[in-house]
Structures are given as structure tokens and as C-alpha cells.
Structure 1
Amino acid sequence: MASAPSDIPSKNDPYASLRSREFQFYLVIRFALVFALNMQFAVVEWRVYELSHDPFSLGLMGLAEVIPSVGLALFAGHIVDKMEKRGMLLKCIIGYLFISMALFALTWKPITQHITDHMALTGIYILVFIGGIVRAFVSPSTFTLMALLVPREQYANAATWSSSAWQIGAIMGPALGGFFIHWFGVHGAMFAVVLVFILPLFSLLQIKPKPVYYHPKDGDVFKSLGEGMRFVWNTKVVLGAMALDMFAVLFGGAVSMLPAFAKDILHVGSDGYGMLRAAPAIGSTITMFILAYFPLKKKPGIKLLAAVFGFGLCMIVFGLSTSFYLSIFALFLSGVVDGVSVITRQTILQLKTPDEMRGRVAAVSSMFVGSSNELGAFESGFAARALGLVTSVVAGGCVTLGVVVTTYIISPAMRKLDLKA
């Protein structure tokens, strides 16, 4: 496989991938994108619940994003594989910038005073839908670009730092989103989001265009799409890691319901909501920094299963809690164990995927894992309406435990997983 050159290759060096200047800018892009998107989603979630006072409306946000994201995922992976990666990611960032500017306009008083709440909600859902279209291309673009910035022997190390940058952005985004709502209102918070989207644009221009390894013949689109699906299906450890995480997030995630928990269960304001949103990412980031120094070498598959099992237990505790501090602690621990899952899955994908197929495999991964957050948001909203807010979260945690036990029984490839490059 072709890969980027390295200055100082050292398998035991926790900073090996950070010695690449372009990878440093990549981490800035990774952080800034996730920071801006998480902050934007936290602010929009708060605004949607303000307008509707209905947990199901939060679930509809997830559905609005997941429909285009999943529907276009395979096609997007094919496009990314045959296109230059930096240019594709640049188009995606510009698209996100325009969406955030439109959301900023929808929170501007001279506009909001002339439209109904229903019109505002409809506008938000439409913009979230468009964001789902952009997201279909962002995931394979960022995944593929990373492999072109560091050599193969540094993939695991790069995945750790990339995931850490992602989680730091996921910490600061929703936390500052909640505090900015408290300090400056929804409109001021959305203005901050617009400003943040400028940072990844600048950083991406510091990375040179990269070679393209996939050159399909005209008319081979469906064959190309099928190759990505067959690769995932035939590589059982990849399939198992994707499926395990998908079901855990789909049924066990409660993040989309946090505005409802903050307001109706824990009775805290927007600042407390920001703390709840940040708690899982703080735990995950701590785990990822530890794993940069002590990578998972022995029985990583068993540890992955244990981590997802722990995630389910944390969701059960969070659902039953009526204490703000216990809820934060449960979410923090959910992030600690989720960090193990994220690093393991990303390392599997980077090590097992050929260069010419990265975009399509990343697209399949986004269908399994990335979009499960939004499907999980819809499932959580629907379950909250049908079963009640607390019951839906506890039941989801129990389903997660069942998924882990089932995976352990039926997947010997996961039990015997080896992450050696």
C-alpha cells in the first residue's frame, strides 16, 4: 500500500504521528469540525425543545439527518475514492459553513418575530437534512485523508490522536454551546459556530493535494459500491466491530434526550445541560490519552466487548438517576468505556482496509456507526413518547447488554481479535 513518508518512525513512540506537520493540521481540522458541529447541534437541540417542548421533536432531528446520510453513504464513498480528498473535504466544510449561517439567520430576532414556531422548526429540520447530505461525504473524506498523511505503521497511533482531537471537540462544543446559550442566548451561540467553521478552512489549505489510488471505469458505479459492501461482509472482525457499536449507540445512547432530562428530570438550566453534554466526551478523551501511551495489545476484542457492556450499564444508571451529579458521573463513565470502543474500531478499519477502498469502507462504517447516533436519537425520541423518558433509556441500556452477550457468543473473530499491524 502507498502511504505518506515519515520523519521518525517509532512503533513505541506515542507522538510518532504528531511529527507530521500535515497531520498536525489534520488534527486541527478534526477538532474544529467536531467542535463546531457539536456546539451547533447542542444549540439547535435546545432551541428545538424550546419551540416544541416535546422529546419526539429531538428524535425527528436525528431522523432528518440520518435519511440523507445513510441514503447517500455508499454513493459518497465511491465519489470520495475516485476524487482528490483535500478538495472534497474543502467543499464539505464550505457547505457546513453556509448551513450554520442559515441557522444563525433562523435565530435572528428580526426574522424570528415574523415567522411562527412551526415555520422555524421546519426551517431547522430542512437545514439539518442538508447537513446530513454533507455528512455523507465528510466521513469517508476525513477517514481517507488521514491514511495519506502518515505511514501504515503509525495508523494505530494516528487513530488514537485523531479520536482524541474528535473527543476534545466533542467536549468543548456542547459545553460551550450550553454556556453560550446561558450568556449570550441562542443567537449569540450560533454566531460563535459560524466563526469556528473558518478555522478548518484555513488549516485544510496547509495540506497539499493527495494522490488518488482508485480509477474505476465508466459505468462501473454499482460494481464499485458492491465491492465496499462485500469487503466489510467478508472481513468478519470489521463487520463485528461496526455492528456492535451500531447497536450499542442505536439502543443505548441517551445524549439526544439530554435537553429533556436537563429540564424535566434534573431541573437544571442551559449551563447544566452543557455539563451533561460534555461529560461523556471528557471521559472518552481521558481514555484516549491513556491509550496513546498504553495501546491495547492483549485481547482487544474482549476489552471491546467489556467496554460496550460497561456503556450499557452506565446508560441504565443515568436513566434511573434523579441526581445531577450522579447523572454526570454515569455519563462520564460511559465516555471512559466508549473511548476504548472508538480507538479499537478506528484501528481495525485503518489496518484492515486497502488504500483504494477506504472511502467506500468508511461510507459503510458511517452507515453502521456514524448514522446510528441519529437513528438512535429518533429511536430514543419515539421510545420516550411511547414508554416514557426514563423507561426508554433504561430499556435501551438493557438491550445494549443483550447485544454484547450475543456478540460474544456468535463472533469468535471478535473474541480472538488481534490489532498487530
Structure 2
Amino acid sequence: MSLQFPAVLRNRNFACYLSARVLGTLAVQMQSVAIGWQVYEITGNLYDLGLIGLAQFAPFLALILFAGHAADRYNRRNIIVLCLAAQMACALLLLAFTLSGSHVVAPVFAILVLFGSARAFMMPATQAIMKNLVPIERFSQAVALSSSTFHVAVITGPVLGGLLYLAGPKMVYMTSASLLMLSVFLMSRTKNAPQAVNTAPASWHTVLEGLRFVRSRPVVLGAMSLDLFAVLFGGATALLPAYARDVLHAGPTGLGLLRTAPGAGAALCSVLLAVAPIRRRVGAFMFGGVALFGAATLVLGATTSFALALGALFLLGVGDMVSVYIRHLLVQFETPDEIRGRVSAVNSVFIGASNELGEFESGLTAGWFGLVRAILLGGAATLVVTGTWALLFPVLSRMDRFPHHGKDGR
């Protein structure tokens, strides 16, 4: 298996795509640590931490289905380049806000609306283009490699963001903008990947084709919705700035380490999946991963130990990675290329709702019930969702192999 990764990386298109994605992710992770700490430092309001997620999710939800149609109709490489450029503009605008010395955070939320719009168009194109970049027999290895390098960026980004924040948020935003500029350059160096182009004119019928496809596949619908509701209720990462400062009494560097721990767990898990991919008991592994996510969230809410909190977040990342890996393979193997962008858009809605809307839900419940109770309630809700979905989607929970097992050369 270790000899196969260089073969994948010798694919110039995939190597450029992977490098651009890692650098872009690194920039966004650094930026997100700075935004959370800066906003909470200015206002001290838990609701504002939730609004950070809502500001990104609202435009995402409004645009994502149209973005999926665009990913099937137009060149996916060009869409990704434009979206990375828009994210770079957001980093520069955050830098301008910081240099202005303003203590009114409304401009930050406005910038995040722009960021959410760019992310809406980028996610379907990014997910859909993967299948166009590598041969089918290398696809599962490419997914594992993409996931592992992505989580290396998720690990490194928050730590770098926390360390750079010691020199002020302006240093974080300057570095983030520079990395995104490099990411734009690398993605623009890829050649146009062949893709099946949807030539049908834009209409509600074509835009909603992805939703109809997902509804017709109980396994895909179950996998997507399980992740949606589990992370929606159990996502405590939005509360980490307050949790680090008020519960663990840590500073920006401590927050960076906490934000890193889930990525470290996910990265280690993705490396193990690359070496020993899941081939049997697919459903049991997926539900087990989500259950681990919920249990780790409960431990996080119950502890005041920094070391135990890091351990809980590490296991949270492991559980999340197992779920993400299985869901991604299920969606990609089941979807024809001509509608891959629209199905990826639906998948992106579920991911975006679970992450950004989950952040808003976490901020809201923390404002209502208190910080620690909100985390504990989220973990308990995730476990309830896991059990409920196992009953609602027995075909998924009892699945032994991937539906198209063997088509990737295994």
C-alpha cells in the first residue's frame, strides 16, 4: 500500500489539487481560531460565537444547490480557483477590519457571509472533481491520502493560528491571505480534468436532481442525515474559545491545541484507513464512529482537565473520520458523474448544516443553559440520534460491504 501513494502523487493534477487544498485548509483553520478568539475577546458574548457559524451557513444554504448545478455545468477547476480567490479577499478584509481598530463586530459577520458564499460554490466542485483526477483503481487511496493531508492541515492550522495570534490577529490574517494566494496559483496550474458536462438549462428540475437522487438511495440518505444530526447536536468546537478561557483557563495557544486535537485524531485514523481500509461491517463501523463522537463530547463537557479535554477531542476526531470516510465513499461510488456536482451539493448542505448551523445551535444552547450543560446535552443528543438512525435505516446499520465493493480494484 505504501508504494501506491507515490503513484497517486505522480498524477500532476491530483498533486496540485491536493497541495492547493491543504494550503487553503491550513489558512482557513488559522483564520477560524483568530476570528473566534477576536470576536469573543471584543464582546465576551457566547451568542456571538454561534453567530460566527450562522453568518457562514445562511448564504451557504441559499446558494449550495445552485452551486451544485454549476459544478456539473461549468469547469470545476475554474470554480475552485475563483472561490479560493474570494476566500483570500475575505482574509484581506479581516486584516483591514483589525487594522481599523473597530470594536463593532458586525463587519466580521458581513465578511463571513462572503466567505460562506464562496464556500458554497467551492464544496461541490471540490468533492466532485476528485473522481475526475485519478483512475478508479486509485480512488480509495486518493480519498484516504486527501483525508490524511487535510487533517494534517487541520492539526497544524489551529496551533499556528494560536501562536501567530500572540503577535495579534493581523499576523494571522496576513499569513492566511498569503497561503490562499499560493493555493490559487497551484490550483490554476492543474489541467482541465475531463468531466461529464450537464448541458440542460438551469431550472428547478435540474437544480433539485441531486435531492431526488439522494432520496431514492436510502443508504446515501441515511449516511448523510446521520452525520448531519449527530454533528448538529454534538458539535462543541464553536464553544472552544469560551471553554478554553472560562473552564480550562487557557489562552490562545491553548485554544489552538484544543482545536488541533480532533484533527490529530482524524489524521491518525485516516492513515490507518489508508493502510487497512474498511472492507467489512461498514454499517457497524459508521454507527460506532458516530457513537464515539457523542461519548467523547460527553467526556469533554464533564472534565476540567486540559489533558483529558485534549484526549476527548482526539477521540472525537477519530470517530468523525470513520463516519466521513465511509460516507464519502458511499456517495462517490453511488453517484453518476453527470450529477456528481448536484449530489455533492446536497452532501455539502448536510456537512454545512452540521458544522456551521451546529455552531449556531451550540452558541444558542450555551446562552440558554450554560457552557458546560450545552456540551453535555450535545453529546447525549448525538448518542440518541445514533440509536434512532440505526432503527430508521437498518439497511445502513447492517451493511457489510460497500455497494460497489471491488470496482476500485480491491
TM-score of the two chains, using structure 2 as the length reference = 0.95
* Sequence identity (%): 38
Does residue 396 of the first structure (1) align with residue 378 of the second (2)? yes
Question: What are the superposed Cα offsets for residues 165-196 of structure 1, whole Å, 9 maximum, x if unpaired?
Answer: 221111111111111112x1111111111111
Q: Partner residue of 1:356?
A: 338
Q: Partner residue of 1:52?
A: 43
Q: Structure 1 residue 376: deviation in Å?
A: 0.5
Structure 2 distance, partners of 1:141, 1:179, is 32
Question: What are the superposed Cα offsets for residues 27-76 of structure 1, whole Å, 9 maximum, x if unpaired?
Answer: 11111111111111111111000111011101001001100001111011
TM-score of the two chains, using structure 1 as the length reference = 0.93
Does residue 285 of the first structure (1) align with residue 267 of the second (2)? yes
Structure 1 distance, partners of 2:5, 2:270, is 12
Q: Partner residue of 1:5?
A: none
Q: Partner residue of 1:75?
A: 66
Q: Partner residue of 1:336?
A: 318
Amino acid at match of 1:214: V
Does residue 17 of the first structure (1) align with residue 15 of the second (2)? no
SS at match of 1:298: coil
Q: Partner residue of 1:99?
A: 90
| Cα distance change, pair 390–365 in 1 and its aligned pair in 2 (3 A) | same
Q: Structure 1 residue 155: deviation in Å?
A: 2.1
Task: Extract unaligned runs of 5+ from structure 2.
Answer: none
Residues 177 and 274, structure 1, Cα contact 8 Å, conserved in 2? yes
Does residue 141 of the first structure (1) align with residue 132 of the second (2)? no
Q: Partner residue of 1:409?
A: 391
Q: Structure 1 residue 371: deviation in Å?
A: 3.1
Does residue 153 of the first structure (1) align with residue 137 of the second (2)? yes
Structure 2 distance, partners of 1:162, 1:221, is 33
Residues 155 and 351, structure 1, Cα contact 8 Å, conserved in 2? no
Structure 2 distance, partners of 1:23, 1:210, is 10
Matched ranges for 1:237-386 at <5 A: 237-386=219-368
Structure 1 distance, partners of 2:172, 2:116, is 21
The count of aligned residue pairs is 403
Residues 165 and 252, structure 2, Cα contact 8 Å, conserved in 1? yes
Q: Structure 1 residue 13: deviation in Å?
A: 4.0
Matched ranges for 1:69-218 at <5 A: 69-108=60-99, 111-112=100-101, 115=102, 117-118=103-104, 121-182=105-166, 184-218=167-201
Amino acid at match of 1:80: A
Q: Structure 1 residue 146: deviation in Å?
A: 1.2
Amino acid at match of 2:91: S
Structure 2 distance, partners of 1:372, 1:263, is 25
Q: Following superposition, which runs of at least 4 residues in structure 1 exceed 6 angstroms of deviation?
A: none
Residues 62 and 377, structure 1, Cα contact 8 Å, conserved in 2? yes
Structure 2 distance, partners of 1:212, 1:281, is 31
SS at match of 2:133: coil
Structure 1 distance, partners of 2:197, 2:222, is 26
Q: Partner residue of 1:3?
A: none
Amino acid at match of 1:383: T
Counterpart of 2:31 (choices 13, 23, 40) is 40
Q: Structure 1 residue 92: deviation in Å?
A: 0.6
Structure 2 distance, partners of 1:337, 1:240, is 17
Q: Structure 1 residue 16: deviation in Å?
A: 4.9
Residues 249 and 372, structure 1, Cα contact 8 Å, conserved in 2? yes
Q: Structure 1 residue 152: deviation in Å?
A: 2.0
Larger CA deviation: 60-69 vs 158-167: 158-167
SS at match of 2:239: helix
Residues 140 and 359, structure 1, Cα contact 8 Å, conserved in 2? yes
Q: Structure 1 residue 264: deviation in Å?
A: 0.4
Q: Structure 1 residue 14: deviation in Å?
A: 5.4
CA root-mean-square deviation? 1.5
Amino acid at match of 1:91: L
Question: What are the superposed Cα offsets for residues 234-253 of structure 1, whole Å, 9 maximum, x if unpaired?
Answer: 11111111111111110011
SS at match of 1:72: helix
Structure 1 distance, partners of 2:193, 2:318, is 35
Residues 83 and 212, structure 1, Cα contact 8 Å, conserved in 2? no
SS at match of 2:208: helix
Structure 2 distance, partners of 1:211, 1:153, is 17
Q: Structure 1 residue 216: deviation in Å?
A: 2.9
Residues 80 and 125, structure 2, Cα contact 8 Å, conserved in 1? yes
Amino acid at match of 1:232: V
Residues 263 and 314, structure 2, Cα contact 8 Å, conserved in 1? yes
Structure 2 distance, partners of 1:13, 1:101, is 39
